Structure 1
Amino acid sequence: MSDTTQTQDPWATAPADAGAAPAHDAAANAGDAWSSAPPPAAHDAAGQGADWLSSAPAQPEHFSLLDPFHKAWVPFDSWVTQGIDWLVLHFRPLFQGIRVPVDVILSGFQQLLLGMPAPIAILVFSLVAWQIAGLGMGAATLLSLVAIGAIGAWSQAMVTLALVLTALFFCILIGLPLGIWLARSKHAAKVIRPLLDAMQTTPAFVYLVPIVMLFGIGNVPGVVVTIIFALPPIVRLTILGIKQVPEDLIEAAESFGASPRQLLFKVQLPLAMPTIMAGVNQTLMLALSMVVIASMIAVGGLGQMVLRGIGRLDMGLAAIGGVGIVILAIILDRLTQSLGRDRRSKGIGRWYRRGPIGLFTRPFIKQA
């Protein structure tokens, strides 16, 4: 009767038996988070880990003539890493000292360009363009700069212009004397020209890692990497311009007793100036092309706008930075081309008789 009652009563407590004990213990252990008994899966994982640790090492790879370069023979990457680490450890103060003149020039350009009200800056740039390249270029510069301000990129454009002008200043300061020296010394040219080839052909991204380790990040390291990237053209074209000076002119100057210094500054450099200005033009274009890449090491300006636009998939922001860079590139390209033009062969008068300066000086100068 009692068995029948328990069968019919669903709430009756079943008697404990020996077979139910293991299930009870397993449930208790599973519910007890602090239980010391590991689950079976843990034992399996521990066993697998022990097998992996105690397993035999992999067999060494054998050299194959059919695939000889599947592994590097020379640890060039570790050599470069160790070399950069050694430079950072021993010469970091020297590289930090190099930052000082770059920072001074860059700060001066930024204070001048950003501190000047936009209408006055546009007027000054337009007058300079008129003086250098004519009235048409002055009007085009005026409209172009107004367009940059209208799309909301004026401040960033001035920062970019300061970066480019600073890089150009140091490229001329380094490249012009270096080009003159290499044009006169064949032995030095044999040593320096491979370095110029390497500087001009190395991808721009490769410069960023050592520059960051040696100089840090910011606008000053961006100027340094731009100088390295944009220096070769002005050196090469300075060499070319001096070597293209006709030999008979050099012999004539020497026959009249010209000293080497007079020969350089009175004959060679004036005749080589169109070629040198072509080098300045190429240096400017390379500096502007480096603006976007240098923005990856926290360089401000229009390149930073392009980088942010790419990161956010904001095509409008990237387009504003790109259009600003293009407008600056066109203006600087036309101005440097005008500076390198041989005005004497075109019958153009002296600089103080043309442009806005000529408007004021012409009444006071006796016409020739």
Structure 2
Amino acid sequence: MEWLLSFPHMDDERLRALKKVIDGAFRHFTSTYGDAFEAFFQPLQVFLNQSERFMTTTPWPVIIVLVALIAWFASRSGRIVLGCVFTLMAIGYLDMWTDTMKTLSMIFVCTVISIVIGLPTGIAMARSNRLRNLISPVLDVMQTLPSFVYLIPVVMLLGIGKVAGLIAVVVYALPPMIRLTNLGIRHVDAEMLECADAFGSSSWQKLKNVQLPLALPSIMAGINQTIMMALAMVVIASMIGVEGLGQPVLKAISNQYFTLGMFNGLAIVGIAVIFDRVSQAYGRRLQKHLERVHGH
């Protein structure tokens, strides 16, 4: 009966030897190429520092006016604008302004990187079934692999700090952008593409003038999901040195500071609601605009 209870496994000595070889190889890789990786990601460090400096040094009334203008441009809804202003005022009143600005700068940089990587990747996947079949399993792994697991190689390569945290957040938040871009372009009406072909449009013209505009609602949904997933990683990223609202939450967990954890957690929720409402309202406006254009 013992062989039924104990699953057949590799000999302990061999297993230890295998783990030792893999660990040794990775340490050798990090010691050899670690500096090269740091140099490669240096522009990200500069971009993140500049973004954080702008958000933290700009006077708070200017930031609130900017957010209100962006919310109005995206939604044309006074209710959403008032909600954004009220949320930011409450965050500032409860003395969480600086941490919130650091978190916003991280989310902004993460979203920009996700768009720069995700948009062309999604377009390429929409044009090639073979590439889609190749990339889809990678995206599945990125979404299902526990974040703590891929934090290990990132920290070993780049050390504890903002860049390591940023890369971890991007890895977690990128898949929705790629998937929804691919989906949006694939679902563009075939008749519209036939019309473009009939007018002699090139492949680039079809993409720029037909496919991307019609796929914009889906792409906006991808950006929305990317932002939400990036915010979900704020607390985990704080464990490897990313400053912002995540660090007080982590401190509250370690020291049982209930109010500190709740206030900062609610600030994260408030930021998430702002991003969600504004991006969804913009997506709905785009959808209505496209429907009007097609109606004519």
Does 2:193 match 1:254?
no
Provide the residue aligned with 1:182 in structure 2: 125
TM-score (normalizing by structure 1)? 0.74
Structure 2: gaps (5+ residues) = none
Contact 2:100–2:244 (CA<8 Å) still a contact in 1? yes
Cα RMSD (Å) of the superposition?
Answer: 2.0
| 8 Å Cα contact 1:295/1:304 also seen in 2 | yes
1:234-282 Cα shifts (integer Å, max 9, x gaps): 0011110010001111111011100000000100000001001111111
- Deviating more after overlay: 86-95 vs 169-178: 86-95
Q: Distance in 1 between matches of 2:131 and 2:40?
A: 25
| Greater relative contact order structure (CA < 8 Å, 6+ sep) | 2
The superposition leaves residues 5-37 of structure 1 with CA deviations (integer Å, 9 ceiling, x where unpaired) of: xxxxxxxxxxxxxxxxxxxxxxxxxxxxxxxxx
Match of 2:42? 100
Partner amino acid, structure 2, of 1:81: D
Residue 86 in 1 paired to residue 25 in 2? no
Partner of 2:138 in structure 1? 195
The question of whether the paired residues in 1 share the 8 Å contact of 2:107 and 2:227 is answered with: yes
For the pair 1:207 / 2:146, whether they are aligned, the reply is no
Deviation digits for residues 120-141 of structure 1, max 9, x if unmatched? 2112211221221122111111
Distance 1:147 1:210, change over 3 A: same
Q: Please say which structure displays the higher CA radius of gyration.
A: 1
Letter in 2 for 1:107: N
Contact 1:233 1:283 in 2 (8 A): yes
Question: Which of 64, 67, 88 is the aligned partner of 2:6?
Answer: 67
1:338 is matched with which residue?
281
State the percentage of identical aligned residues.
40
Partner-residue secondary structure (3-state), 1:301: coil
**Structure 2 Cα separation of the partners of residues 77 and 200 of structure 1:** 25
Q: Is contact 2:214–2:290 with CA below 8 Å preserved after alignment? A: no
Distance in 2, Cα, partners of 1:202 & 1:300: 24
Paired residue type of 2:153:
P
Indicate the residue corresponding to 1:34 in structure 2: none
Give the superposition deviation at 1:182: 1.1
Q: Is 2:52–2:102's contact at 8 Å kept on the other side of the alignment? A: yes
Against the structure 1 CA distance between its residues 80 and 316, is the aligned structure 2 distance closer, same or farther, given a 3 Å change threshold?
farther
- 2:208 matched residue in structure 1: 265
Q: CA deviation at 1:82?
A: 3.6
SS in structure 1 at match of 2:41:
helix
Q: Could you list the per-position Cα deviations for residues 159-202 of structure 1 after superposition, in whole angstroms to 9, with x for gaps in the alignment?
A: 00001111111010001001111111122222111111100110
Compared CA separation, residues 239 and 82, structure 1 to 2 (3 A) = farther
Comparing 221-230 and 187-196, the one that deviates more: 187-196
Larger helix proportion, structure 1 or 2? Answer: 2
Relative to 1, partners in 2 of residues 1:335 and 1:72: Cα closer, same or farther, differing over 3 Å? farther
1:335 Cα deviation from its structure 2 partner: 1.3
CA distance in 1, matches of 2:170, 2:20: 27
By how many angstroms is 1:87 displaced?
Answer: 2.5
- The alignment partner of 1:344 has SS state of helix
1:229 and 1:112 map into 2 onto residues whose CA distance is 25
Please tell me whether the aligned partners of residues 148 and 324 of structure 1 are also in contact (alpha carbons under 8 angstroms).
yes
Q: Which of 102, 107, 119 in structure 1 is aligned with 2:61?
A: 119
User: Which residue in 1 is equivalent to 2:260?
Assistant: 317
Distance in 1, Cα, partners of 2:237 & 2:19: 23
Aligned to 1:132: 74
Deviating above 6 A after TM superposition, structure 1's stretches of 4 or more consecutive aligned residues are none
How has the CA–CA distance of structure 1 residues 335 and 180 changed in structure 2, closer, same or farther, with 3 Å as cutoff?
Answer: same
Please state how far the C-alpha of 1:65 moved relative to its aligned partner.
Answer: 5.5
The AA in structure 1 aligned to 2:154 is I
